[in-house]
């Protein structure tokens, strides 16, 4: 049975399953903290929400990528992934705080694509910085 868990296919499927589970959980948390409903807005064609959500998805996946590469133990990998997500979430609040002249959530909900694009880039950029810290 020990060889089973060391098989690359099994490890890849396990990593994939962990990321899918945490992606759903973390996106649900983002859904709670934003003033708009991500999937309703995306269904209605709001490109700004799609970009911001896409950046969050990429950011979460990138953080877990670094965590998988650097840590062997399952719980350590998950712990660093959760810690990275918390940092990404803090980055979201800092972004909102540093733009007092307008509300990020309102601009994204109104399909301001410039704000949506900056949100995407911030999530991706922060995920690389967080990933470097995990490494």
pLDDT tens, residue by residue, 78-88: 999 999 999 99
Instruction: Write b or e for each residue in 88-118: b if 16 or more Cβ atoms lie within 10 A of its Cβ, otherwise e.
Output: beebbeebbeeeeeeebbebbbebbeebbeb
Is residue 70 predicted with pLDDT exceeding 70?
Answer: yes
Q: Which domain holds residue 78?
A: 2-134
pLDDT tens, residue by residue, 38-61: 999 999 999 999 999 999 999 999
Domain count, the chain: 1
- The alpha carbon of 61 is separated from its chain's Cα centroid by a whole number of angstroms, namely 6
Q: What pLDDT, on the 0 to 100 scale, is given for residue 1?
A: 62
Which whole-number Å values give the CA distances from 42 to 23, 45, 69, 92, 102, in the listed order?
17, 5, 32, 19, 22
- pTM exceeds 0.85: yes
Is residue 73 predicted with pLDDT exceeding 90?
Answer: no
């Amino acid at each position: 049975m020990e060889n089973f868990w060391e098989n690359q296919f099994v490890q890849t499927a396990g990593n994939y399953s962990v990321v899918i589970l945490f992606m759903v959980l973390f996106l649900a948390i983002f859904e709670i903290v934003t003033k708009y409903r991500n999937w309703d807005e995306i269904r209605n064609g709001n490109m700004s929400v799609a970009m911001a959500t896409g950046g969050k998805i990429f950011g979460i996946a990138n953080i877990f990528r670094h965590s998988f590469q650097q840590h062997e133990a399952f719980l350590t990998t998950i712990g660093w992934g959760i810690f990275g997500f918390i940092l990404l979430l803090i980055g979201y609040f800092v972004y909102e705080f540093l733009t007092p002249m307008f509300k990020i959530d309102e601009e994204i909900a109104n399909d301001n694509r410039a704000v949506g694009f900056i949100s995407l880039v911030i999530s991706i950029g922060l995920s690389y910085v967080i990933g470097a810290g995990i490494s």
